[in-house]
Amino acid sequence: LGVELSLHVARSMFLLCDDTGKMLVFCARLFRDVTPLRNPVLDKLLLVMHHVYFENIKLTKKKDNCGHFDQERVFALIPTAWKDFGDGIIILSRLYLALSRNVGCFDDCQLSWAIVRFKQDVLKKLEDKLRDVNGFAREAIESNIFDLWKSLFDEDEDKEAAQVVLSRTLRELFTPLVDEMGRTIPGADVPGLVRISPPYILGEDFKTEEGKEEVVRLGVE
């Protein structure tokens, strides 16, 4: 699920790559503004954005195979996908916590249904909105993105070394967004990236809402 969400983030980065500042702001907003709670899902997504920018987009731009999109269309499209991205990050974060803590907040049936809803309510919508991105070679980056995500539940991971990598990644990816005084460079923001209301999937009311839907599915209501 994290790999699929990451591929859609990568698609959006390719859409925005004509303007590096706006592309990096999009990444920063995903990392900083969607949820105030730093968690391993956000950390993995950060590593993905860093990899896509430095290993794919920068190299592609050198070959003049990146960008050249209708910017008016891009800035109309990205905000329509913004909530889907936010919902995806929040739901994956909740799913990670539910699975890693191994506590009884949700049973296996509820977690399975949450995954189904994630695919329907997030991934399908993003696929429909971002499917036509010229120059985006999914196959070329999918295996690398998978490698970044596969240690998500690795309890033996060297936490100190991982933190060093994350700190360096933050500096390298987002330093271009600030001037010598530490202020965000003006004009780099992406219009329409509004505050996101948390989705109900795996939230406080998830059991109640899914219970109602189950009643409807069974034809009892």
pTM: 0.83
The pLDDT value recorded for residue 149 is 93
- State mean pLDDT over 174-178: 81
Are 110 and 207 spatial neighbours (Cβ–Cβ below 8 Å)? Answer: yes
- Give residue 185's pLDDT: 63
DSSP helix/strand/coil, 211: helix
Please state the rounded mean pLDDT for residues 132-137.
62
Please tell me the distance from the alpha carbon of residue 215 to that of residue 139, in angstroms, as a whole number: 41
Cβ contacts of residue 152 below 8 Å, gap of 6+? 2, 40, 41, 44, 96
Q: Is 10:145 a contact under the CB 8 Å cutoff? A: yes
In this predicted model, what pLDDT tens digit does every residue of 62-93 receive, in sequence order?
555 565 667 777 888 888 999 999 999 999 99
Of the two residues 148 and 138, the one the predictor is more confident about is 148
Residues 178 and 14: beta-carbon distance below 8 Å:
no
Residue recorded with tokens 């009643």: 215
d(CA 35, CA 100): 19
- CA 204, distance to chain mean position in Å, is 22
What is the rounded average pLDDT for all residues in the chain? 81
Please compute the mean of the pLDDT values over residues 12-28 and round it to a whole number: 88
Q: What is the predicted pLDDT for the residue at 216?
A: 42
Q: Is residue 141 predicted with pLDDT exceeding 80?
A: yes
Mean pLDDT value across residues 173-189: 68
What does R_g of the chain's alpha carbons equal in angstroms?
18
| Residue 66 pLDDT | 60
Q: What's the confidence (pLDDT) of residue 2?
A: 93
